[in-house]
Amino acid sequence: MGEDRNSFIFRLLLTLFVILAINFFLPRMMPGDPFSTTSADEVGEEIIVMTEEQRLYYMNYYGLDRPLHEQFLVYMKNLMTGDLGRSIYYKMPVSDVIMLHLPWTMLIVVGATVISTVSGVVLGTFSAKNRKKGSDRIMMTGLIAFAEIPSFLLGLILLLVFSVYLRLFPLAGAITPFADYNGPAEQAWDILYHAFLPVVTLSLSQLTGVYLLTRNTLITVITKDYIRTARAKGLGEKTVWNRHALRNALLPVVTRTGFMIGIMMGGVVLVESVFSYPGIGMTLRSAVVGRDYPLIQGILLVIAVSILICNLLVDKIYGKLDPRVVI
């Protein structure tokens, strides 16, 4: 056990190191640097054009003129003390920038995970119960076709239909700017109102996967001997499905949810951009455009770590759900 634990921690550290290295070198391999960008990210933003003198001054100020390996060592050393560095664009600590935007991303990712999992399981169960019937066929064909649409395209369509034409939802942002709330309920409502379309877009992109997995696993599980035993006990179809079949069918769904969060963390960049939703996805995009190395590094690190955490959690939860797994 102790042996296992040590090697586990070693593997975790190695993974982290590789991620850190990639995070560090990849942005620096892109052409350009933070001070020679000429393009503006957002329309209307003033373009600051620096003189060569200014540029060299800032490069020196941020230590970007030093050899790469030296920069990397400094980065690692600072990281040990919890210092992610300062954002060049925002002119404040990277951790503060992340803390400002991460909650929004968490909100829509967690929301989308919950919604797609719950509705995928519910629809999958319905389909499995009605397998080979019309309702199952229609639902399955429809959802599979639906899954072919890329999520940013889906987001654009939703934005056009519900925000631009129907004006049911906001065009951008996570809250109404300069709003004066009468109490937390109204504030919560405003947040949900803004998060709605991004969450729906993300959820829809994951729904089919969960649905198919639930349906197919259930169809296998329902032929098992223990289901026959449960039926023999006269427990009723509801108990048979919900307690005996679903509990077993949910095991692979849980594993999938872990991976799903990882996939969504990537997808969130596009979706947030489409809805101009101020999460770390959108922040990452502008950081890349502005070659804001410390910020890029910080956000990528956060994404990587959260994927790692999710996978760990999944293993833990799986172990709790399936008694046959020894952890």
Interacting residues with other proteins (CB under 8 A): 223-226, 228-237, 239, 243-244, 247-248, 251, 321-324
The least CB distance from residue 66 to other proteins, in Å, is: 57
Q: Amino acid letter at 147?
A: A
- The residue among 6 and 229 lying less far from other proteins, judged by its C-beta, is 229
- The residue among 56 and 321 lying less far from other proteins, judged by its C-beta, is 321
Residues pairing with 86 in the sheet: 93
Q: Which residues of 45-65 are buried (b: 16+ CB within 10 A; e: fewer)?
A: eeeeeeeeeeeeebbeebebe
- The residue among 32 and 236 lying less far from other proteins, judged by its C-beta, is 236
- The residue among 17 and 226 lying less far from other proteins, judged by its C-beta, is 226
The least CB distance from residue 117 to other proteins, in Å, is: 18
- The residue among 136 and 190 lying less far from other proteins, judged by its C-beta, is 136
The least CB distance from residue 197 to other proteins, in Å, is: 38
Could you tell me if 63 and 74 are in contact, meaning their C-beta atoms sit under 8 angstroms apart?
Answer: yes
The least CB distance from residue 36 to other proteins, in Å, is: 59
The least CB distance from residue 321 to other proteins, in Å, is: 7
Structure tokens at 105: 């991303």
Give the CA count within 13 Å in the CB-facing half-sphere of 246. Answer: 18
